[in-house]
């Protein structure tokens, strides 16, 4: 059956395989020898997974991973079909899988992960404790079902409390930020305000990774007593403090998996070579000028994106859809401050909610030159308005996918699925 379903980038083959054979995943992964790692959380899954895979491969490990952003179980199966030999079992040392919180549990019901990396919990459209608690509960359940090791964010109060749900005998490793930049955490992640006064981050040990920035681009990841086993200094191709934290999470996990085989120099070189996943600060050269695609999907993520990318005045477009994958309710946009866009304004707003976005910007005194709900026409207008200057597009998931496909067709970019190879 696997051979008949091979080919193509669609998740449909995975959906078919999943329905025909509910045990497909367990069978296909049964010969993965050194571990099955699930990466989950609200923000940073795609970037962190790509970094972790790069570090492991740089150490000589054969790693299977799912294509960028394909974080449902059927996406995992679809990406697997083209790599399966006739006996139907994957040949790999490790499987590193990015999974959305709910689908991570669906996966764990079929295949128990040996390791889990849990990044953060944030509002994913609306500021509702019920929603946040539900997400935290899903991640806690995933940790409960992990059999060998769990890596947790020590600075995220929702994630750090999961420590109490980890089974006896399963190792717990932490990643976080050095105390010298603890004051910047509120711009990056949520805290549970109901228990904020009672939250004290766990104390990092010698096997835990701490981010230590040296400037806006250079940083080290500290391990060991007083950082004696540091990775770096290094610079990433992707900008911003959030990317540095993702690198810290990935490196901490890789070190946990590789043990004494972990080489700090190899890890630093691998991280420095990682290109941004599509839409996560990816830069497309359009007629000699850079066009940057930045994914936004919740208040925390948009705030971080504006802090990372919005400080440099460039021609700006914002594309907001309200499809299922984006979240139907876009009222979360009112929890984001757009003041950093005032000086230059926004050239075009687009997407299904292009007019809603323009209205939201008006409340922060950000001028909008034009609204065009059709994404392709908006892109054409945006490029025509600013032919000789750098450009940036902030976009929700489905808007980003549509724009990326258009840009790929015009400028010979790699297919989205190729980024995982």
* Domain finish residue from 230, 256, 273: 273
Query: Would you say 301 and 335 are in contact if contact means Cβ atoms under 8 Å apart?
Result: no
297 with 242, same domain: the answer is: no
- pLDDT tens-digit series, residues 305-357: 888 776 677 899 999 999 877 778 888 899 899 998 998 899 999 999 999 99
227 with 287, same domain: the answer is: no
Distance CA 382, CA 315 (A): 8
Query: What are the CA-CA distances from residue 152 to residues 40, 49, 112 (Å)?
Result: 11, 15, 18
Distance CA 330, CA 359 (A): 12
Whether the predicted pLDDT of 125 surpasses 50: no
The residues assigned a catalytic role are 329
- Give Cβ neighbours of residue 290 (< 8 Å, ≥ 6 apart): 283, 284, 390, 391
Query: What confidence tier does 226 reach under pLDDT thresholds 50, 70, 90?
Result: confident
Q: For position 262, which CATH number holds? A: 3.40.1190.10
Helix (H) or strand (E) holding 368: strand 368-372
Q: Which of 104, 114, 97 is nearest to 34 (CA)?
A: 114
Distance CA 176, CA 182 (A): 9
Whether the predicted pLDDT of 117 surpasses 90: yes
* pLDDT for the residue numbered 2: 43
Distance CA 94, CA 96 (A): 6
Is the model more confident about 365 or about 24?
365
Q: Which of 147, 232, 154, 148 is nearest to 189 (CA)?
A: 154
Query: Would you say 270 and 250 are in contact if contact means Cβ atoms under 8 Å apart?
Result: no
What is the average pLDDT across 21-47? 83
Distance CA 232, CA 385 (A): 42
43 with 165, same domain: the answer is: yes
Is the model more confident about 194 or about 78?
78
Distance CA 231, CA 309 (A): 26
Distance CA 338, CA 336 (A): 6
What is the average pLDDT across 285-297? 88
Q: For position 285, which CATH number holds? A: 3.90.190.20
* Domain finish residue from 235, 253, 273: 273
Query: What confidence tier does 6 reach under pLDDT thresholds 50, 70, 90?
Result: very low
Whether the predicted pLDDT of 220 surpasses 60: yes
Query: What confidence tier does 194 reach under pLDDT thresholds 50, 70, 90?
Result: low
375 with 248, same domain: the answer is: no
146 with 7, same domain: the answer is: yes
342 with 256, same domain: the answer is: no
What sign results for the dihedral spanned by CA atoms 118, 119, 125, 128?
positive
- Give Cβ neighbours of residue 173 (< 8 Å, ≥ 6 apart): 149, 150, 151, 152, 207, 208, 209, 252, 253, 256
Helix (H) or strand (E) holding 360: helix 354-363
Distance CA 32, CA 17 (A): 19
176 with 292, same domain: the answer is: no
Secondary structure of residue 394 in the 3-state scheme: strand
Lowest mean pLDDT among 84-98, 165-179, 283-297: 84-98
246 with 284, same domain: the answer is: no
336 with 215, same domain: the answer is: no
Is the model more confident about 41 or about 83?
41
Lowest mean pLDDT among 187-191, 206-210, 402-406: 187-191
pTM of structure: 0.78
209 with 77, same domain: the answer is: yes
* pLDDT for the residue numbered 238: 85
* pLDDT for the residue numbered 68: 56
For the chain, percent of residues with pLDDT exceeding 70: 80
Distance CA 82, CA 79 (A): 6
59 with 193, same domain: the answer is: yes
- Give Cβ neighbours of residue 98 (< 8 Å, ≥ 6 apart): 39, 40, 45, 46, 48, 49, 65, 66, 69, 70, 71
Distance CA 69, CA 55 (A): 19
* pLDDT for the residue numbered 20: 43
Domain encompassing residue 208: 2-273
* Domain finish residue from 256, 273, 290: 273
165 with 17, same domain: the answer is: yes
- pLDDT tens-digit series, residues 381-394: 999 999 999 999 99
Secondary structure of residue 344 in the 3-state scheme: coil
- Report the number of distinct structural domains present in the chain: 2
Q: Which of 210, 282, 269, 209 is nearest to 239 (CA)?
A: 282
What is the average pLDDT across 65-75? 62
């Amino acid at each position: 059956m696997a051979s008949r379903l091979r080919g193509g980038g669609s998740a449909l083959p995975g959906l078919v395989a999943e329905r025909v054979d509910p045990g497909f995943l367990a069978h296909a992964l049964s010969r993965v020898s050194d571990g099955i790692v699930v990466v989950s959380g609200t923000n940073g899954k795609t970037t962190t997974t790509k970094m972790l895979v790069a570090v492991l491969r740089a150490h000589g490990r054969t790693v299977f991973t799912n294509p960028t952003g394909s974080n449902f179980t059927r996406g995992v199966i679809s990406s697997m079909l083209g790599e399966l030999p006739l006996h139907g079992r994957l040949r790999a040392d490790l499987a590193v899988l990015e999974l959305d919180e709910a689908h991570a549990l669906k996966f764990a019901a079929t295949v128990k992960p040996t390791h889990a990396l849990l990044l953060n919990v944030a509002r994913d459209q609306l500021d509702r404790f019920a929603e946040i608690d539900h997400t935290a509960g899903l991640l806690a359940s995933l940790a409960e079902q992990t059999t060998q090791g769990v890596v947790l964010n020590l600075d995220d109060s929702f994630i750090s409390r999961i420590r109490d749900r980890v089974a006896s005998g399963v190792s717990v490793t932490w990643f976080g930020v050095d105390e010298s930049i603890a004051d910047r955490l509120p711009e990056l992640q949520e805290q549970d305000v109901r228990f904020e006064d009672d939250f004290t981050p766990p104390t990092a040990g010698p096997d835990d990774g701490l981010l230590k920035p040296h400037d806006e681009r250079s940083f080290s990841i500290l391990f060991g007593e007083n950082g004696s086993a540091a990775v770096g200094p290094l610079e990433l191709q992707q900008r911003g403090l959030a990317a540095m934290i993702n690198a810290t999470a990935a490196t901490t996990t890789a070190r946990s998996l590789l043990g004494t085989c972990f080489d700090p120099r190899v890890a630093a070189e691998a991280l420095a070579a990682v290109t941004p996943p599509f839409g996560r600060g990816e830069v497309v050269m359009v007629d000699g000028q850079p066009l940057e695609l930045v994914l936004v999907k919740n208040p925390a993520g948009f705030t971080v994106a504006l802090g990372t990318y919005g400080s440099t005045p460039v021609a700006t477009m914002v594309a907001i859809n309200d499809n299922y994958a984006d979240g139907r309710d876009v009222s979360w946009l009112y929890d984001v401050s757009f003041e950093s866009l005032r000086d230059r304004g926004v050239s075009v707003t687009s997407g299904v909610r292009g007019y809603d976005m323009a209205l939201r910007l008006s409340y922060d005194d950000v001028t909008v030159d034009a609204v065009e709900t059709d994404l392709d026409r908006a892109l054409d207008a945006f490029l025509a308005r600013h032919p000789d200057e750098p450009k940036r597009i902030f976009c929700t998931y489905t808007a980003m996918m549509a724009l990326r496909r258009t840009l790929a067709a015009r400028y010979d970019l790699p297919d989205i699925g190729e980024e995982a190879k």
